[in-house]
């Protein structure tokens, strides 16, 4: 015979357990829903859960020029210049009147320089010097302008615009800040640039000699000797003038050229061959 009171007791227990589970699920759903509503993101299950996790992690730090600058400088110090450049650009665009914008302008130029974009870096350094002529970083900026020209210098057989610009820039640095920490390196690079220019004159002189143009060859050697007398190439030009070797070679070449057919006229037009 079935014990009805025992059956009713077991049924009540099962009902109680189900009620507790249902109440627990409802309370969790209400919690997620309220969190979603408080954050203004709707009452969907996924949005509520996302909001709940954000609340547990704490409020996000507001983005401003200070924490952006810290993040950019972290990337910069790690050599991650592309990422740093993006954030420095954001700072300059969003906060143009902040002191951090000035730092961003300088570091943007540095990022370009370290990535090997010397032409772009040069323009940014020059812009910084123009906008902030009294800033303490101007000494460094002028040195970096010269460093861009140093990286852009070409071989002695090519045009020497960047070489001349390097000398002008470092002369300006040394005249304005003769005792700066960059003076030694500036003097060293000027000496290298002057020798590069003397080498260029020497190569042109040799080409003139090879094509039988004696007076032009002599003129180029005199330029190298008189303007760059303290350079190895200038000293070599003086030696060639003194020994007259290059002119004996020119006389020989002039005789040979006169005997050549008209098909060889291009030799006078193409230097350094």
pLDDT at position 234: 95
pLDDT at position 136: 95
Task: List own/partner pairs for 230-235 with CB under 8 A and 24 or more apart.
Answer: 230/191, 230/194, 231/191, 231/194, 231/195, 231/198, 232/195, 232/198, 233/156, 233/195, 233/198, 233/199, 233/201, 233/202, 234/195, 234/198
Highest mean pLDDT among 54-58, 172-176, 257-261: 172-176
Other Cβ atoms closer than 10 A to 125: 28
Rounded distance between C-alpha atoms, residue 257 and residue 273, angstroms: 15
Mean pLDDT confidence for 111-120 = 98
User: 125 with 148: CB under 8 angstroms?
Assistant: yes
Residue 20 scores a pLDDT above 90: no
pLDDT at position 269: 52
Extract the tokens encoding 38: 């408080």
pLDDT tens-digit map of 149-200: 999 999 999 999 999 999 999 999 999 999 999 999 999 999 999 999 999 9
pLDDT at position 63: 79
Ordered structural domains, the chain, with CATH: 4-57 (no CATH), 61-152 (1.25.40.10), 189-273 (no CATH)
Gap between the terminal Cα atoms of the chain? 121
Longest alpha-carbon distance in the chain: 140
Q: Which single residue is written with the structure tokens 């008209």? A: 262
State the pTM of this model.
Answer: 0.70
């Amino acid at each position: 015979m079935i014990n009805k009171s025992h059956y009713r007791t077991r049924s009540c227990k099962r009902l109680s357990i189900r009620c507790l589970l249902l109440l627990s699920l409802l309370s969790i759903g209400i919690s997620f829903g309220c969190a979603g509503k408080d954050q203004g993101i709707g009452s969907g299950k996924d949005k509520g859960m996302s909001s709940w996790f954000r609340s547990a992690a704490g409020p996000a730090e507001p983005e401003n020029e200070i924490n952006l600058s810290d993040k950019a400088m972290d990337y910069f110090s790690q050599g991650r210049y592309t990422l740093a450049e993006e954030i420095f650009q954001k700072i300059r665009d969003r906060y143009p009147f902040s002191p951090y914008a000035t730092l961003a302008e300088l570091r943007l130029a540095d990022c370009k320089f370290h990535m090997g974009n010397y032409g772009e870096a040069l323009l940014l350094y020059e812009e910084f010097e123009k906008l902030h002529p009294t800033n303490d970083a101007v000494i460094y900026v002028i040195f970096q302008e010269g460093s861009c020209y140093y990286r852009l210098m070409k071989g002695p057989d090519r045009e020497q615009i960047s070489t001349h610009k390097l000398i002008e820039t470092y002369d300006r640095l040394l005249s304005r800040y003769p005792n700066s920490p960059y003076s030694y390196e500036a003097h060293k690079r000027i000496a290298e640039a002057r020798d590069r220019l003397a080498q260029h004159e020497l190569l042109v002189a040799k080409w003139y000699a090879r094509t039988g143009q004696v007076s032009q060859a002599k003129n180029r050697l005199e330029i190298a000797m008189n303007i760059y007398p303290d350079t190895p190439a200038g000293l070599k030009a003086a030696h060639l003038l003194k020994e007259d070797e290059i002119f004996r070679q020119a006389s020989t070449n002039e005789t040979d050229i006169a005997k050549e057919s008209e098909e060889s006229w291009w030799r006078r037009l193409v230097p350094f061959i």
